Structure 1
Amino acid sequence: MNNVEIYEGGDLGCHYTHLESIFKVWAPTAAKVTLALYDDAGTYDGGALTDHAGGFEIGMRRGEGGVWSLHFRGDLAGKYYMYKVEHPDGREVYAADPYARAVSANGQRTAIVDVKAASPEGWEEDETPGLLGVEDSVLYELHVRDFSISPDSGLQYKGKFKAFTETGVRDAAGSRLGIDHLAELGVTHVHLLPIFDYATVNELTVDDPDSAEPKFNWGYDPQHYNVPEGSYATDPSSPEVRIRECKEMIMALHRKGIRVVMDVVYNHTYSAGDGLFEKLVPGYFYRTDASGRFSNGSGVGNELATERPMVRKYIKDSLRYWAEEYHINGFRFDLMGLIDTDTIAQITEELRREHPGLLIYGEPWTGGETPLKQQTLKGSQRGKGFAVFNDNFRGAIKGDSDGAGKGFATGQPGKEAAVLAGVQGAIDDFTGSPTETINYVTVHDNLNLWDKVLITQGLEGDLIRGIDNGQLAGGGSLEEAVAATDPYRSIDQDLLLENESVRRALLANGIVLTSQGIPLIHAGDEMLRSKFGDHNSYRSGDAINAIRWGNKSRFLPVFEYYQGLIALRRAHRAFRMTDKEQIKRSMEVMRCDGNVVAYRLKDHANGDTWKNIIVIYNANVREAQVDIPFSITGWKVAVKNLQARNGALEMIVDETVSVPGLSVMVLYEEEGGRPRLLKTVELHYERQDRKYDGWNLWVWGSGMRERRVDFDRMEDGRAVATIYVPLNVQEIGYIVRLNEWEAKDCDQDRFIKLGWHHSKLKVLVRSGSDDWKKIS
Structure 2
Amino acid sequence: MQNEMPSNTQANKQGMDFLDLGSGRPLGAIVERSKTIFRLFAPRALRVTVTFFQDLENPAPDTRELIRMDDGVWEETHHRNLHGWYYYFHVYSPKPDIAENGMEDPDHSGQDREKDNVLEDAEDTGDGHPKTDGVQSDASDTQTDTEGRNPDSPDDPPLPILDPYALAAVSPAGPGIVWDKNKWPGNKTAKRKTFTTPAYSDLVIIEAHIRDLLKEAPITLEEEERLGFSGLEKWVREDGCYLKSLGVNTIELQPLQEIGDHYAKEDYHWGYMPVNYFAPDSSYSLHPERGSQIEEFRSLVKSFHDEGFAVLIDVVYNHVGNPNPLYLIDDEYYFHRDGKGGLTNWSGCGNDVRCEAPMARRLIIDSLRHFIEYYDVDGFRFDLAHLIGVEVLEEVESALRKVKPSVILIAEPWSFRGHLGLDLKHTGFASWNDGFREFIYRYLCGEGNQEGLHYFMGGSTRHLTAGPTQTVNYVESHDDRCWIDKITENPEHRGDHPTATDRRRTHLACAIIMCSLGIPMISAGQDGLRSKQGIDNSYRDGDVNAIDYQRIIEYAGTHDYFRNWIRFRLSERGKAFRLATTPANSFFRYFGAEQSSATAIQYNADKSHDATCLLFAVNPHKTVMHIHMSEGPDLSRWKQIADHERFEERGLGTMRFRFQGGVLMLPPLSCGLWEEG
- Structures share fold, TM-score greater than 0.5: yes
SS of the residue corresponding to residue 196 of structure 2 reads: coil
The change in CA–CA distance for 1:114 and 1:665 in structure 2 (over 3 A counts) is same
The residue identity in structure 2 corresponding to 1:114 is: D
CA shift for structure 1 position 461:
7.5
SS of the residue corresponding to residue 65 of structure 1 reads: coil
Structure with the higher helix share, 1 or 2: 2
1:458 alignment partner in structure 2: 490
2:269 alignment partner in structure 1: 217
Aligned: 1:440 with 2:483? no
Contact 1:161 1:232 in 2 (8 A): yes
1:192 pairs with 248, 253, 257, which one?
A: 253
Contact 2:23 2:73 in 1 (8 A): no
CA shift for structure 1 position 168:
8.7
2:424 alignment partner in structure 1: 381
660-669 or 125-134, which moves further after superposition?
125-134
The residue identity in structure 2 corresponding to 1:430 is: L
SS of the residue corresponding to residue 509 of structure 1 reads: helix
The residue identity in structure 2 corresponding to 1:188 is: N
Aligned: 1:164 with 2:232? yes
Aligned: 1:660 with 2:667? yes
Distance in 1, Cα, partners of 2:189 & 2:359: 32
2:295 alignment partner in structure 1: 244
CA offset digits 1:644-680 (Å, max 9, x no partner) = 244433588854333333233111114xxxxxxxxxx
Contact 1:565 1:645 in 2 (8 A): no
The residue identity in structure 1 corresponding to 2:490 is: G
Contact 1:624 1:660 in 2 (8 A): yes
SS of the residue corresponding to residue 325 of structure 1 reads: helix
CA shift for structure 1 position 129:
3.3
The change in CA–CA distance for 1:264 and 1:42 in structure 2 (over 3 A counts) is farther
Distance in 1, Cα, partners of 2:667 & 2:534: 29
CA shift for structure 1 position 595:
2.8
The change in CA–CA distance for 1:309 and 1:121 in structure 2 (over 3 A counts) is closer
1:57 alignment partner in structure 2: 63
1:360 pairs with 397, 400, 409, which one?
A: 409
The residue identity in structure 1 corresponding to 2:78 is: F
The residue identity in structure 1 corresponding to 2:42 is: A
The change in CA–CA distance for 1:118 and 1:548 in structure 2 (over 3 A counts) is farther
Contact 1:336 1:362 in 2 (8 A): yes
SS of the residue corresponding to residue 24 of structure 1 reads: strand
Contact 1:451 1:531 in 2 (8 A): yes
The residue identity in structure 2 corresponding to 1:598 is: A
Contact 1:115 1:243 in 2 (8 A): no
The change in CA–CA distance for 1:489 and 1:668 in structure 2 (over 3 A counts) is closer
CA offset digits 1:60-97 (Å, max 9, x no partner) = 22224221222222221221112222334478533221
1:110 alignment partner in structure 2: 176
Distance in 1, Cα, partners of 2:71 & 2:385: 29
1:313 alignment partner in structure 2: 362
CA shift for structure 1 position 350:
2.1
The change in CA–CA distance for 1:609 and 1:647 in structure 2 (over 3 A counts) is farther
Gaps of 5+ in 2: 1-7, 9-16, 96-153
1:304 pairs with 321, 334, 353, which one?
A: 353
The residue identity in structure 1 corresponding to 2:364 is: I
SS of the residue corresponding to residue 402 of structure 2 reads: helix
Percent of aligned positions with the same letter in both sequences?
27
CA shift for structure 1 position 413:
3.0
Distance in 1, Cα, partners of 2:184 & 2:56: 18
Aligned: 1:22 with 2:90? no
Q: Report 1 or 2 for greater relative contact order, CA contacts < 8 Å, sequence distance ≥ 6.
A: 2
Matches within 5 A, 1:79-158: 79-89=85-95, 92-93=157-158, 94-115=160-181, 117=183, 119=185, 127=193, 129-131=195-197, 133-150=199-216, 152=218, 155-156=221-222, 157-158=225-226
CA shift for structure 1 position 503:
0.6
Aligned: 1:488 with 2:497? yes
Aligned residues between the structures: 591
2:319 alignment partner in structure 1: 268
The change in CA–CA distance for 1:332 and 1:35 in structure 2 (over 3 A counts) is same
SS of the residue corresponding to residue 513 of structure 1 reads: helix
2:443 alignment partner in structure 1: 408
Superposed structure 1 runs of 4+ greater than 6 Å apart:
none
The residue identity in structure 1 corresponding to 2:324 is: G
Gaps of 5+ in 1: 44-51, 171-175, 207-214, 370-374, 399-406, 464-486, 491-498, 671-776
2:439 pairs with 381, 396, 404, which one?
A: 396
The residue identity in structure 1 corresponding to 2:458 is: Q
1:538 alignment partner in structure 2: 539
CA shift for structure 1 position 559:
1.2
The change in CA–CA distance for 1:42 and 1:588 in structure 2 (over 3 A counts) is farther
SS of the residue corresponding to residue 561 of structure 1 reads: helix
CA offset digits 1:20-52 (Å, max 9, x no partner) = 222221122222222211223368xxxxxxxx9
Distance in 1, Cα, partners of 2:260 & 2:235: 31
CA shift for structure 1 position 551:
2.1
TM-score by length of 2: 0.82
Matches within 5 A, 1:584-603: 584-591=585-592, 594-603=596-605
SS of the residue corresponding to residue 520 of structure 1 reads: strand
The change in CA–CA distance for 1:125 and 1:298 in structure 2 (over 3 A counts) is closer
Distance in 2, Cα, partners of 1:136 & 1:102: 34
The residue identity in structure 2 corresponding to 1:565 is: W
2:455 pairs with 405, 416, 421, which one?
A: 421
Distance in 1, Cα, partners of 2:425 & 2:550: 43
Distance in 1, Cα, partners of 2:419 & 2:236: 43
1:527 alignment partner in structure 2: 528
CA shift for structure 1 position 304:
0.2
Contact 1:338 1:376 in 2 (8 A): no
The change in CA–CA distance for 1:528 and 1:116 in structure 2 (over 3 A counts) is farther
Provide the aligned C-alpha RMSD in A: 2.7
CA shift for structure 1 position 345:
1.5
